[in-house]
């Protein structure tokens, strides 16, 4: 059998059912790996080992009694520390929230527990999911398991680092401008931002009310589908929640790419934000692979990346300042320098600018929907460059905005990032696939076809 720490969630569930492995045995193997790697990677803010062991022991006993709670029965999951877990602090990686203990699980955590998942603990993030890899916060920044001198992407940084390093098979992240897909790209794993409103955000500290999403990070497309099945569903307590009937998101994973119409958004990385040759080559190869698998690949044109980024920035900064205004006035010194610098400009964005951005957003949504009349899935860049070094803030500041993820927070379309190659530096390169609203099953079908036809999902870092 595969080493326990590299088992996918689906593989672990099958091993449990076949009595080849117990949830307690898997958890003990993961805790040993966490003990060895946490001092180098800093993926956890808080490891809840005793509670996880108790839950794993109970899950093991239930299997012995013939009871399976759900498809994630006994599977450990890590939770980004802006998402509430009952009885644990939700610090948001900030001094401002060190004493805040959650009274109840976030809706998404409750759903995962209902499916049988075991919460391992709370994971590193950028401060309030907006700061960046910083050293002036209460906890150290997470590090990239492919090379711990580099950042792991963010803001779901601990989620990406931990999944990639084999500390847990799956994790929860959030995505407002790309924060699930960024660590997936930097760490060579799968990160899925679902359709806006498909997954409840109740119990998640907000960054931007109209851009926030909650999504899974995993090492396989099948695990992302499995997680989404457990997470999705209408929640009347979340004003942004959609009354969608979408279900069984992995139903088409084995169908392959034949017959899919794929729109290749070349201008994102060729003209809007020119990427290095190795990124362009990886994206061209992804298009070639899907065509070889039977997809029809054609070039398509969307609004420009810089305009998408501008609309996202105005909306995000305005809404984030509304959330943080009181603390910024009363306790500005308690923020890290980077998050404070990113939040303060919201004080100077006028209401007409916010309204204009939302109006342009509606036009952009219409433009993307028009393209989707003729294609089933989009293929485009995620990150333009691999992750920069943690000790090079200038290079991090330069490369972080060089990405094509924010357009699909603006439009709300489901989007998935996954590994598509290895850079000359030895760090992962990534591709992004985008689907129609609430058509995650088709998006996951395309990603699974690419995954099967390429070797990247079988590569693991050796931190």
- pTM exceeding the 0.85 threshold for the entire prediction: yes
Separation between Cα atoms, residue 222 and residue 250, nearest integer Å: 7
pLDDT of residue 263: 98
Give the integer Cα–Cα distance in Å for 281 and 119.
39
Structure tokens at 349: 């964005």
For 207-219, what is each residue's pLDDT tens digit?
999 999 999 999 9
Strand 170-175 to 213-218 pairing: antiparallel
Retrieve residue 420's tokens: 């598509």
> Which of the residues 8, 22, 155, 159 is marked catalytic?
155
**Given its phi and psi angles, is residue 148 left (phi above 0), alpha (psi -120 to 50 degrees) or beta?**
alpha
3-state secondary structure of 391: coil
Residue 258's alpha-carbon distances to 252, 292, 372, 417, in angstroms, are: 12, 9, 18, 21
Q: Is 6 helix (H, G, I), strand (E, B) or coil?
A: helix
The one catalytic residue among 94, 179, 200, 208? 179
pLDDT of res. 114: 98
Distance CA 381, CA 363 (A): 22
Q: Does domain 4-458 have CATH number 3.90.1300.10?
A: yes
Q: Once rounded to an integer, what is the mean pLDDT over residues 253-281?
A: 98
Give the three-state DSSP class for 80: strand
Res 160 pLDDT > 80: yes
8 in active site: no
Q: What is the greatest pairwise CA distance in the chain?
A: 62
- Find out whether 40 and 143 touch, Cβ atoms under 8 Å: yes
What pLDDT does residue 245 have? 81
Sign of the torsion formed by the C-alpha atoms of 363, 366, 370 and 375: positive
Domain segments of the chain as ranges: 4-458
Give pLDDT tens digits for 289-334: 999 999 999 999 999 999 999 999 999 999 999 999 999 999 999 9
Nearest to 161 by CA among 74, 270, 281, 80: 80
- The DSSP string of 48-71 is -HHHHHHHHHHHHHHHHTT---ST
* Strands 261-264 and 296-299, sheet pairing: parallel
Active site residue 122: no
185 is an active site residue: no
Return the structure tokens found at 66. Answer: 């013939």
Which residues have CB under 8 Å from 202's CB, separation 6+?
106, 107, 235, 237, 238
Round the average pLDDT of the chain to a whole number and report it. Answer: 97
According to the model, what pLDDT value does residue 307 have? 97
Tell me the helix, strand and coil percentages in the chain, rounded to 5.
45, 15, 40
Q: Does residue 131 carry a pLDDT above 90? A: no
- Residue of higher predicted confidence among 247 and 188: 188
Cα(389)–Cα(397) distance, rounded to whole angstroms?
11
Note whether 119 and 37 are within 8 A (CB).
no
Question: Tens digits of per-residue pLDDT, 43-81?
Answer: 999 999 999 999 999 999 999 999 999 999 999 999 999
H-helix or E-strand containing 40? helix 23-41
178's tokens: 């790309």
Torsion angle of C-alpha atoms 154, 156, 160, 162, degrees rounded to 10? 130
> What pLDDT is attached to residue 1?
61
Q: Check pLDDT > 80 for residue 265.
A: yes
Q: Which two tokens stand for residue 320?
A: 């984030």
Quote the strand ranges of 17-96, DSSP E: 44-47, 76-80
Q: What's the CA gap between 440 and 246, in Å, rounded?
A: 8
Catalytic residue among 8, 22, 80, 122: 80
Tracing tokens 């409840």 back to the chain, one arrives at 200
DSSP annotation of 129 reads: G
């Amino acid at each position: 059998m595969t080493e326990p720490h590299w088992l996918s969630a689906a593989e672990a569930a099958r091993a449990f059912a076949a009595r080849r492995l117990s949830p307690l045995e898997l958890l003990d193997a993961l805790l040993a790996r966490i003990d060895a790697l946490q001092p180098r990677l800093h993926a956890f803010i808080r490891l809840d080992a005793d509670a996880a062991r108790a839950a794993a022991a109970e899950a093991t006993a239930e299997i012995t009694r013939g009871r399976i709670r759900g498809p994630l029965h006994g599977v450990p999951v890590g939770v980004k520390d802006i998402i509430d877990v009952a009885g644990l602090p939700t610090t948001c990686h900030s001094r401002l929230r060190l004493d805040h203990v959650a009274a109840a699980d976030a809706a998404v955590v409750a759903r995962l527990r209902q499916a049988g998942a075991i919460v391992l603990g709370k994971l590193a993030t950028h401060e309030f999911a907006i700061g960046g890899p910083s050293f002036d916060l209460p906890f150290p920044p997470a590090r990239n398991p492919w090379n711990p001198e580099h950042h792991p992407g963010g803001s779901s940084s601990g989620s990406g680092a931990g999944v990639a390093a084999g500390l847990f098979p799956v994790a929860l992240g959030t995505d407002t401008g790309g924060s699930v897909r960024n660590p997936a790209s930097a760490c060579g794993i799968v990160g899925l931002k679902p359709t806006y409103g498909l997954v409840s955000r109740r119990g998640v500290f907000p960054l931007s009310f109209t851009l926030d999403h909650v999504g899974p990070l995993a090492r396989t497309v099948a695990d992302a589908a499995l997680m989404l099945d457990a997470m999705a569903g209408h929640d009347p307590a979340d004003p942004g929640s959609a009354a969608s009937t979408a279900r069984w998101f992995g139903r088409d994973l084995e169908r392959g790419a034949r017959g899919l119409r794929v729109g290749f958004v070349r201008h994102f990385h060729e003209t809007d934000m020119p990427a290095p040759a190795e990124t362009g080559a990886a994206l061209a190869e992804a298009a070639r692979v899907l065509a070889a698998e039977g997809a029809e690949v054609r070039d398509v044109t969307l609004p420009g990346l810089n305009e998408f980024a501008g609309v996202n920035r105005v909306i995000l900064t305005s809404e984030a300042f509304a959330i943080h205004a009181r603390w910024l006035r009363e306790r500005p010194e308690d923020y890290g320098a980077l998050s404070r610098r990113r939040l303060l400009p919201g004080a100077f964005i006028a209401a007409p600018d916010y309204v204009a951005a939302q109006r342009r957003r509606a036009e952009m949504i219409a433009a993307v929907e028009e393209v989707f009349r003729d294609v089933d899935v989009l293929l485009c860049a995620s990150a333009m460059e691999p992750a920069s070094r943690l000790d090079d803030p200038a290079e991090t500041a330069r490369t972080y905005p060089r990405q094509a993820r924010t357009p699909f927070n603006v439009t709300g379309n489901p989007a998935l990032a996954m590994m598509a190659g290895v850079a000359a530096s030895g760090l992962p390169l990534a591709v992004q696939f985008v689907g129609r609203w609430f058509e995650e099953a088709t998006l996951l079908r395309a990603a699974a076809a690419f995954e099967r036809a390429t070797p990247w999902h079988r590569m693991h870092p050796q931190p």
